[in-house]
Structure 1
C-alpha cells in the first residue's frame, strides 16, 4: 500500500491546518508534541504528514509540471495565452498568478510540517532512547523531515531566488514574518542538515515502503544534488548571472563527489537492463528496492497527473484505461539528438497516440509524447472513466543520476579520470546492445579529451537519460548554459525546417514518416532518421480495415508529414512551436525567477517583489 495513501487516511488532525496565510502559525498550540513524539507509532503518523503536500495541486500539477518548463528536451506553453500555467511557462507570470500561489503555499505548508517533526523529535526522550530500535526509528523519521525540507527549499530557491527561511515549528508568541534569506545561506544550511542526518537513516530495503519513502539512498543523492546547485550559477535580482566563489565551487563539488561515492560504495546496484521497464513499474505498481529508482512520489489513486498530463495521449472509449495526454512535447531536435541505436530514444519519445479503440496513429512531429508513462501500461487498468488522479508515481531521483553527478563532480575537480569515465560508461551501457559497447560506450567515452569535452558529454547524457522527467531546467540553470542550450534548440529546429524545404532525396532527415498498424501495433519505418527514401516495396495505404489494420495488409504504408511540419514553403515561416513556446527563451538572460505571490506579500510586512524586473 502506498505511503501517501496511508497518511491521507490517517489525516493527523493536529497538523492538518490549512496554510492560507503565509507562514501563519496557530495562535496557541492545539497539540502536545511531547506526547506525540514520545513514542514511535505517533511519531510515525506525524512524520507521514510531511508527505501531505505531494497530494495537493500546488505540487502535483503546478510545481512538478507547470514550473519545470521549458528546456531543450520538453517544451510547452503559449505566449498568447493568459492562462496561469501558460503565463508561468512563457515567463510572463504576475504576482496574482494563482498557480504560483498554490506552489508557494504548498512549499511552506510542507516546511512547517517538517519543522514540527524536527523540533518535536529533537526535544523528545525517544530521540536518545536507550532502546536501540526506538532510537533508530526516530533518526529515520527526523532524516525524512530534514530531507523533505531540503527538497522544498531547493525548489523555492530555483523558482524564487532568495526566500524566507523558517527552520522552527510554529510557537505561540514567536514572530514568523521573516525577511528573505540569501539562497546560498539556505542551501548551505540544508546540505549540512542532511550530512548530519544521513548516517542515522535506513536504506530503502529496510523500510516498509521501499522507494516510496524517503530513505538513506535518496538523502545521500540529495546531498550531491544540492551541493551541485550550491556550486552552480544562479540569477541575481539585477538580472545578472552569478556563480559560487572558486572556494565554494571546490567545496561543494567535493561534497557532491564524496556523497555520490559514499552511496556507490555502501549501496551500489546494477542499473536494470530494461530502461523502459523502470517507468512501466510505476504504472504497474511495482516498487523495487536496490534498483534504479531511489525515491518516487507515492501518489495515491485520485492524486497525481502522471499518465494524464505527463505521458502518452490516449482517447477515452470503452477500453479500461481512461483518457491521457501530455502538457509537454519532446521537440524534434531532441528526438534527432539520440544515436539511432540508443534504446532510450523509443522508450522516451512517444511516436503514437491511441484512439478510443486503442488503435495507434502517428503523432505530429511537434507533439512527440513522453513515452515513459501511459495509462495503457497500467496494471490493473484504471477504468474507462479515469482521467486525472492516476496514482502513477513520479520519479524524484534515480541511481543513474548519482552516477552522472559523480562523473560531473569528478571531472570538475580532476578532469575526465578513469572513475569519471567508468561512471558515464555504466549509464551508457544500458542504452546500447552489448555488441555495440565497444563503439557506443568504450570508444565514445574514451575519446572524450579534456574537461570541457567530458562536461559537454554529461550535458548530453543527462538529456538522453532523463527526458520527460521534467528535471532538465534545473541542470541548465546551475550549469549556466540555459540561454545557450535554448538558442541551440531553436537553431536546430530551424535547420530541420530549412532542410525539409529543399526536399532533397539525399536529406539526412526525413520529410515524411512512414508507418503502418497491424494487430493494434504500430510499426514506424526505421528510415525516419535517415532520408526521404520510402520503405522497400512501398505501397501507399488505401485505408484501414475494421480492426484498424493498414491496407494493403502486406506492403501498405501510411505517409505523414515529419520535418516539413517545421517550415511552410507557402508562407515561408517556421512552425509556431518556435514563436509560441520557445521565443520567450531567446533572450540574453532567461528570467526563470517567478514573482512572489501577492497573498504572501499582503500577509507579510517584509516581503516584496524587488528586482528581476518585477518592480
Structure 2
C-alpha cells in the first residue's frame, strides 16, 4: 500500500475511535474493529462515523489552535507575538513561512483526514440497508447525517483553499481511487461543487429549533451561513496560479446572490438573534452555557483535555496571565493602531484588546502599546485553574452578526448601494456595540463605495481575533492595501501626528499594594480597564487614552508606561525579526506554501505561487 493511501485510511479509522464528550451525541464505536460496510448498517453506527468527521475540526491542528489562531495571522488587527522565525508560527504571521515550517504540515494533513472521513459517510449512507429499507424515522436521520457530512466536507475544502489555493480534490474515499497521486484542481471548480453540496445539505439538515441541538451540531442556518461565506469567497479575489496574480472569480453577481439569499433565509427564520451583550456572548463560550439568543450558529466543540479533541483557545491566545491559577501565554498581540480604530464608547474595544496582563499576584499590569494582547478568550473566564492548556472553549465559527454583515455586503453589491434592509442589518450590530451610548452610533452611509468601506471597517471591529480578517482582506483584494495603510498609521502613531495627535506618549498608573488582588474576572472587560488606578490629572479616566500628556514628571507612587513612545521604527519596517508583516509580497504571500513533506509524497503535486 502506498504512503498516501495508508495515511488516508489510517486517519479515517483513528478519527472514529471511541471518544469522551461533554455532549451526549459525541459517543462513537471503534471502526477499527468493524468492516466499512458494517459501520453503516444502522443509524446509530452511522452517527458514530459522523462524529469522527466532526472530530476532524477539533484539536491542536485544526480549530483548537492552528487553523484559527496561527494560520489566520496577520491582518490589520493582530499578529503573532514574538520574533520572526521562518519555520514556526511567527514566520506565518510575518508572511515569511517556508515549506519546512512546522506549523504547515498537520493542518493540511488533518483537514484531508476529515475529508476522507466525510467521504466514507457520504459514500455509504445512500447504499446502506437503513437508507434503502429502514423506517421513515431512520431514513430521516440518515438524510440529516448525510447533510452534516456534506457540510463538514465543504468546510474542510474551504479551509484548504483559503490557505493554499488550488488543491487536490476528491469526492470518494481514497481506497476507491484509481490513484491517490492527485494533481491540483482549480479552486473555482471545487467552490462550485461544495456550493452545490451545501444547497443539497440545506434540504436535509433541520433548523436548530426543529432538532433541539446545541451550536456544536450543524443546523440548517449553519449550512446556509457557511454557503454564504463560501459564495462571497467565490465572488471575491484570490491568488491564481496562472497568471500569478490576484484575480476576481468569474460571474461574481451570481455568488453575491447566493450569499444574499442564504443570509436572508437565516434572518427571516427567526432562529437566531444578536446576544444583547457582546461580552456575554464570548463569556458563554468559556462555560459551555447556552446562549438563549443563539447568536453562535455553529461552534467547533472542544472537550477531553487533550490535543486531539480539545482546544488551546484562551491559553495560547487571549489575556495573558502570569499567575499560577490562570497561567496562560498571550500568544497573539494587538497591533497598537487597532485600539484606536474603536470609538471610546465602543464596548467591543476592551473585549477585543487587553491593554494589561495579570501579574503573578493577580494584579492588572498596564502594558506598553506593543505588548497588548487579544482578549475575547480568557482562561480566567473559565472554571479551570492551574497549568492546564486545554480549556474546553468552543470556537465560534459562525455568528449571527456575521450573517447580518454578509447580507449587507451582498445587498450592496447587488443593488449598487445599500438598501434599507442592509442598513438595518448593520445598524443592529452597531447599536449593540454602543449599548448605553446609542447617540454615538453615527450615520451609516448608503452609497455603494462608502457602504462597502463601512462594512470593511465594521467587520474589523466586530470580528477582531476570530480568524476572519486576513481572509476578508484577501477576498476584497485589500490585504496589500491594508498592510501599507497600517504601516502608515504606525508611523503616525509613533510620531503623534494625524489621527494620533492626541494619543499620549506615556500613561502613569499606580500598582496596588502587593497584598491586594485587583483583577476580578467577574467584572466586565470595560470595568477591568476603568478600575486601574490611572493618573488622570483632572480629566475623565476614559479620556486618558485620548489626551496628550500634561505632565512629564512621574507623579509620586505611579509607574510610567510608554504608550505612544513604545512604537519604534523596527516594529514598523526595516527589521526582519521584529517588524509587522515584513515579508509580505503581493501576488505571492496571500497564500501559504504547501509543507515539503506533502509535496515530496505526491509527484503530481506542485508548489506554485513563487515558493
Shift of 1:397: 0.8
2:345 and 2:43 mapped to 1: Cα distance?
51
1:406 and 1:533 mapped to 2: Cα distance?
43
Q: Is the 8 A contact 1:61 1:305 kept in 2?
A: yes
Confirm or deny that 1:213 pairs with 2:217. yes
Give matches, 1:27-46, under 5 Å: 31-46=34-49
Q: From the superposition, tell whether residues 270 and 7 of structure 1 become closer, same or farther in structure 2 (CA, over 3 Å).
A: closer
1:530 and 1:266 mapped to 2: Cα distance?
43
Q: Is the 8 A contact 1:260 1:403 kept in 2?
A: yes
The aligned counterpart of 2:543 is 527
The TM-score normalised by the length of structure 1 is 0.85
Confirm or deny that 1:58 pairs with 2:61. yes
Unpaired runs of at least 5, structure 1 = 16-29, 543-556, 568-572
Unpaired runs of at least 5, structure 2 = 1-18, 520-530, 535-540
The aligned counterpart of 1:444 is 443
1:173 and 1:416 mapped to 2: Cα distance?
48
Shift of 1:583: 4.0
1:592 and 1:404 mapped to 2: Cα distance?
23
1:40 and 1:275 mapped to 2: Cα distance?
39
The aligned counterpart of 1:226 is 230
Q: Is the 8 A contact 1:293 1:398 kept in 2?
A: yes
The residue matched to 1:65 in structure 2 has which SS?
A: helix
Shift of 1:183: 0.4
Shift of 1:88: 2.5
2:259 and 2:453 mapped to 1: Cα distance?
19
Q: Is the 8 A contact 1:514 1:534 kept in 2?
A: no
Q: From the superposition, tell whether residues 351 and 255 of structure 1 become closer, same or farther in structure 2 (CA, over 3 Å).
A: same
Give matches, 1:514-553, under 5 Å: 514-516=508-510, 520-521=518-519, 522-523=531-532, 525-533=541-549, 540-542=555-557
The residue matched to 1:366 in structure 2 has which SS?
A: helix
The aligned counterpart of 1:411 is 412
Confirm or deny that 1:353 pairs with 2:361. no
Confirm or deny that 1:288 pairs with 2:295. no
Q: 1:593 aligns with which of 591, 594, 602?
A: 591
The aligned counterpart of 2:571 is 575
Q: Deviations over 1:385-433 (max 9, x none)?
A: 32x2222111101000000000000000101111110111011110113
Q: Is the 8 A contact 2:95 2:584 kept in 1?
A: no
The aligned counterpart of 1:584 is 582
Q: Is the 8 A contact 1:225 1:256 kept in 2?
A: yes
Shift of 1:314: 0.3
Give matches, 1:141-540, under 5 Å: 141-171=145-175, 174-207=178-211, 209-237=213-241, 238-245=243-250, 248-288=251-291, 290-300=293-303, 301-302=305-306, 303-317=310-324, 319=325, 321=326, 323-378=327-382, 380=383, 382-386=384-388, 388-414=389-415, 415-434=417-436, 436-440=437-441, 443-445=442-444, 448-499=445-496, 507-516=501-510, 520-521=518-519, 522-523=531-532, 525-533=541-549, 540=555
The residue matched to 1:58 in structure 2 has which SS?
A: coil
Q: Is the 8 A contact 2:59 2:302 kept in 1?
A: no
Q: From the superposition, tell whether residues 512 and 468 of structure 1 become closer, same or farther in structure 2 (CA, over 3 Å).
A: same
2:31 and 2:449 mapped to 1: Cα distance?
53
1:154 and 1:172 mapped to 2: Cα distance?
23
CA RMSD between the two structures:
2.7
Q: Which runs of 4+ in 1 moved over 6 A?
A: 6-9
The aligned counterpart of 1:548 is none
The count of corresponding residues between Structure 1 and Structure 2 is 561
Q: Is the 8 A contact 2:506 2:549 kept in 1?
A: no
For structure 1, which segment, 356-365 or 127-136, has the greater mean C-alpha deviation from structure 2 after superposition? 127-136
Q: From the superposition, tell whether residues 564 and 540 of structure 1 become closer, same or farther in structure 2 (CA, over 3 Å).
A: same
The TM-score normalised by the length of structure 2 is 0.86
The residue matched to 2:396 in structure 1 has which SS?
A: strand
1:120 and 1:210 mapped to 2: Cα distance?
26
Q: Is the 8 A contact 2:70 2:92 kept in 1?
A: yes
2:21 and 2:456 mapped to 1: Cα distance?
34
